Homo-oligomer: A and B are copies of this chain.
Amino acid sequence: MSVLVVGTVAFDSIETPYGRAREALGGSATYFSLAASLFGPVRLVSVVGDDFPRRHLRRLARRGVHLDGLEVAKGKTFRWAGRYDGDLSEARTLSTDLNVYGRFAPRIPAAWRGSPFLFLANGAPANQLSVLAQVARPRLAVADTMNFWIDTTRPELLEVLRRVDGLCLNGEEAKALAGERNLIRAGTRLLEMGPRLVLVKKGEHGSFLFSRRLRFALPAYPTGNVRDTTGAGDSFAGGFLGSLSGSRRLDGRALRRAVAYGTVVASFTVESLGTGALERADRGDVQRRFREMVRFASL
């Protein structure tokens, strides 16, 4: 079943101890789409400028990413530049140029309003609410967020939490949003704020899944080849929702497997600067690493 994603398509300029990339294809919706498309069709809603090359569109289309919701606006595409030091756990943003994304008001194509799976990538809660108002109730709607929105638009973000099924964020953000210093307490508190699933991304330390009936933790895939962690969180969400989109039931077993698929897909993303390693991965690669994860993480 189709997964609908609303987020950014961008040019990323990245510096790491292992090399640098200039104006590489990036953005939350890009990474999510490339990840989720390993499992089934993806519907992408975003905006790019008239400087966005057709070859990037073809890269996405080849993977089964439908682009009818990708608006091309007059002006320049969103650009982000960042630098990673040391262990690559966190980027320092060097510059953010919203460009056409600064005026983005997401419009969901009529044919896509009944999409069963929805991912609201990190973005203004007002935009996330606008998308939720346009779609029929999905089987599973998951929103991502970050510190900036927690600090500046908390009331709108709390409204998003009441309207989605799942929340996806990193450990520090979970603690900040919940007002708890302990991650387990934070997860429990966030469930009280609306969503029935809370997915906490911890980078090299793996992830947590909290629901009212399930608590599950999984380490990251043990790759010794981490080059660039940009897009890892969105890839994780893409693998998670992509995997669920192929599940008959959204029970505990399906959720655990989805976390593992998210983990595996993100492990490809971090192995190259930009989207290269993720684009090269195929379903066979994903299955092999999934089986490795089972051996690596199971008692």
A184 pairs with B219, CB closer than 8 A? no
B182 pairs with A226, CB closer than 8 A? yes
Residues on B with C-beta less than 8 A from A218 are 219, 297, 299
Within 8 Å of chain B (Cβ to Cβ): is A87? yes
A217 pairs with B183, CB closer than 8 A? no
Residues on B with C-beta less than 8 A from A202 are 205
> Which residues of chain A (169-207) have a CB below 8 Å from chain B?
175, 181-185, 188, 202, 204-206
A224-B297 CB under 8 A given contacts A205-B202, A205-B206, A217-B219:
no
* C-alpha spacing A217/B225, complex, angstroms: 17
Residues on B with C-beta less than 8 A from A204 are 183
> Which residues of chain A (110-153) have a CB below 8 Å from chain B?
none
Q: Mark interface residues in A276-299 (1 if CB within 8 Å of B CB, else 0).
A: 000000000000000001101111
A184 pairs with B222, CB closer than 8 A? yes
B185 pairs with A256, CB closer than 8 A? no
* C-alpha spacing A204/B175, complex, angstroms: 14
* C-alpha spacing A122/B182, complex, angstroms: 28
- Chain B residue with minimal CB distance to A17? B181
Residues on B with C-beta less than 8 A from A17 are 181
> Which residues of chain A (7-26) have a CB below 8 Å from chain B?
17
* C-alpha spacing A185/B204, complex, angstroms: 13
A182 pairs with B224, CB closer than 8 A? yes
Partner of A299, one of B88, B206, B260: B260
Chain B nearest CB, measured from A132 CB (Å): 31
* C-alpha spacing A224/B223, complex, angstroms: 30
A217 pairs with B206, CB closer than 8 A? yes
Within 8 Å of chain B (Cβ to Cβ): is A63? no
Chain B nearest CB, measured from A189 CB (Å): 10
B296 pairs with A216, CB closer than 8 A? yes
- Chain B residue with minimal CB distance to A216? B296
A222 pairs with B215, CB closer than 8 A? yes
| A175, A208, A224, A293 interface centre (most CB from chain B within 10 Å) | A224
In addition to A202-B205, A205-B206, A216-B296, 13 A-B residue pairs with Cβ atoms within 8 Å of each other are A87-B175, A88-B181, A182-B224, A182-B225, A184-B222, A184-B224, A205-B205, A206-B219, A215-B296, A217-B296, A257-B299, A297-B298, A298-B299
* Cβ contacts A to B, 11 pairs, < 8 Å: A88-B181, A184-B222, A184-B224, A208-B219, A217-B297, A218-B297, A218-B299, A256-B299, A257-B299, A260-B299, A298-B299
Q: Which A residues are within 8 Å of any B CB, using their own CB?
A: 17, 86-88, 175, 181-185, 188, 202, 204-206, 208, 215-219, 222-226, 256-257, 260, 293-294, 296-299
Q: Closest 5 interchain pairs by CB?
A: A217-B219, A205-B205, A184-B224, A185-B224, A184-B222
